[in-house]
Structure 1
Amino acid sequence: MTDHVHTGRFTAAPEGPVTVFLIGMRANRWWKLGKVAQVAASMPTMLGYLARTPEAGLLGYQQWFGRTTIMVTYWKSPEHLQRFAADRSAPHLEPWRRFMRESAGTGDVGIWHETYETIPGGRESMYSDMPAFGLAAATGHAPVGAGLNTARQRLEADRAHGPLAE
């Protein structure tokens, strides 16, 4: 994500379905910083791998930090996400197994995730005077023009032809 502001109104321009995967962790016992740091430390390695391996299917992500963290990721498909999670050569399985062995059930650190598959006509977005963000940063964006001024119009356009149709 860059800080370049796109002046005006825009909508995301995905072609086809996009899988949205939300993932995060929560420092339940913040005073156990070592345990929290150990769990958090594996994410940069995973993101580096995914950046170097576009065939893995990650389209983009954004993240926010606090006691409860959240990362919103966009994937080509649920199959791409599941393949990455199960791939023995990718940097996910070992940290997951370590978490399950050393942290799960202690109550020190919580982890969570949610997966959603979006389909054309089942999503709508609008960004006004924003840098490329969210789904638009992951898939591209298009100006909001005639026929795309309302959420209802953008949903209908996405359902019929994608957001670039007017």
Structure 2
Amino acid sequence: MGNHIFEGRYTTENNRDVVVFLIGMRINKRLAIRKWLPVFTTMPGMIRELYENQEELGFLSMENYFGLRTTVMITYWRSKEDLLAYSKGQKHLTAWKNFNRKIGDTDAVGIYHERYVVPQGHYEAIYGNMPVYGLAKASGHMPVTAEVRTAEKWLSVK
């Protein structure tokens, strides 16, 4: 996997439900480093925990993006129940309590999340000349063939 480029068109398995969870932060006051830096530095430990316990936690994969003020982490989960169970786990719960204690309602830093529960057969992923990425890392990576031009067609062939 890694950065190896798979030439041609690829798709992903579309045979199970998937939960897509976006989580991130926005630095509203750049000079309030003491407020936003603890939020920013909490994530690496949780990411490590997720990858070290993937099967047990129901975590499938993730992608990260950093903008000038806003970050977003796109994560893929086996189920809504797995995601909710993780949110109540020690590492996340501790981070959430620390955030509320230290930042509370200050406007120096913002946080957000969005959760989408997507049933099998209701998503499509196409990758052209890309490394294994996004949903393909989470659900399997397969070439698009003459019979399977889209994930939707692939599902109907099965």
TM-score by length of 1: 0.88
Aligned residue in 2 for 1:69: 71
Rounded Cα–Cα distance in structure 1 between residues aligned with 2:84 and 2:115? 11
Aligned residue in 2 for 1:12: 12
TM-score by length of 2: 0.92
Rounded Cα–Cα distance in structure 1 between residues aligned with 2:104 and 2:152? 41
| Aligned-pair CA distance for 1:157 | 3.4
Aligned residue in 1 for 2:152: 155
* Identity among equivalent pairs (%): 40
> Which one has more relative contact order, counting CA pairs under 8 Å at least 6 apart?
2
**What RMSD in Å do the two structures reach over aligned CA positions?**
1.5
**Counterpart AA for 2:70:** T
**3-state SS of the aligned residue for 2:147?**
coil
Aligned residue in 1 for 2:101: 101
Distance 1:156 1:104, change over 3 A: farther
| Aligned-pair CA distance for 1:97 | 1.0
| Aligned-pair CA distance for 1:35 | 1.5
Rounded Cα–Cα distance in structure 2 between residues aligned with 1:63 and 1:14? 23
Aligned residue in 1 for 2:135: 135
Aligned residue in 1 for 2:80: 78
Rounded Cα–Cα distance in structure 2 between residues aligned with 1:49 and 1:64? 19
**3-state SS of the aligned residue for 2:70?**
coil
**3-state SS of the aligned residue for 2:132?**
coil
Report Cα offsets for 1:78-130 as digits up to 9, x if no partner. 1000000012xx31001101111221311011000000111122100100000
Contact kept, 8 Å, 2:14 with 2:124, in 1: the verdict is no
Report Cα offsets for 1:28-66 as digits up to 9, x if no partner. 001112221111111111111111112111100010112
**Counterpart AA for 2:134:** G
Count of residues in correspondence between the two structures: 156
| Aligned-pair CA distance for 1:14 | 4.5
5+ residue gaps, structure 2: none
Contact kept, 8 Å, 2:58 with 2:77, in 1: the verdict is yes
